[in-house]
Amino acid sequence: MEFVFLLYPLVGLLSGVLAGLLGIGGGLIIVPALLLILPLHGVSAASSMHVAVATSLATVIMTALVASYAQHRRGAVQWRIVSRMGLGLALGAGSGALVADALPAEILRACFGVFALFAAVHMILHSRVTAAARPLAWPALLGAGALIGHLSAIVGIGGGTMTVPFLRWRGLTLTRAVATSSACGLAIALGGSLGFVLLHEGMRGYMAGYIHWPAALGIGLSSVLAAPLGVRLTHSISTVVLSRIFSIFLVIVGLYLLLD
């Protein structure tokens, strides 16, 4: 059974490279991978989807912390926006964890399947967002944060797929939107992970609530190390081709989870 521990860093390396190469969230790789690996580690089929979503969200704590610090050093993070969205993001993620806990495994799988299809279509179309005419007031930012955090926790992602388009619509440049989204992802990960820890039976074995800590640490640490490699590969590999290949993978994953 010890060989299973070796699979988690491999998943982290793959998700980290793809995140750096394509600018995608690691959860789109991590959740499907954990659905295959966790049963080998003794996690029951009835709870594997919940554990996969919660564990994926916990890995975002490490990746978002490193990414937001690096972006802060470049002066790209708009902390005023983060401060106004942050409470909504954290509370929304906590409520998302509550909803995920209440959903049957098959419904949670379907939610992730739908999101995977949405992400695939988004990558294929390369949708562009028109900037807003003026900045939004803080109540609107708070509400948007709550919605993004809520949906992100249900599918186990850091929210970049939704946060970046929202910030672009608000008028931020792509660079600042991506940087600010990293810091927003930390708020989502902290709120959602706390919710998943508190909602389930406490510490037992390798688990803290719904979070499988060996998987979270193995994937999170290796993905942090691998992301810079993905960034460097963008100069030698066609990201357009890779994004199309990955979108096909997402379609397959989405349909499998919906139809299985």
Q: What is the pLDDT of residues 14-32, one digit of tens each?
A: 888 877 666 566 788 899 9
What's the whole-model pTM score?
0.85
Q: Which residues contact 236 (CB under 8 A, 6 or more apart)?
A: none
DSSP per-residue letters across 66-106: HHHHHHHHTT---HHHHHHHHHHHHHHHHHHHHHHHHS-HH
Q: What is the mean pLDDT of residues 36-55?
A: 88
- pLDDT tens-digit series, residues 152-201: 999 988 888 888 888 878 888 777 887 888 889 899 999 999 999 988 76
Rounded to whole angstroms, the Cα distance separating 231 from 228 reads 5
The full set of domain ranges for the chain reads: 6-259
Comparing CA positions, the residue from 70, 72, 56 lying closest to residue 24 is 56
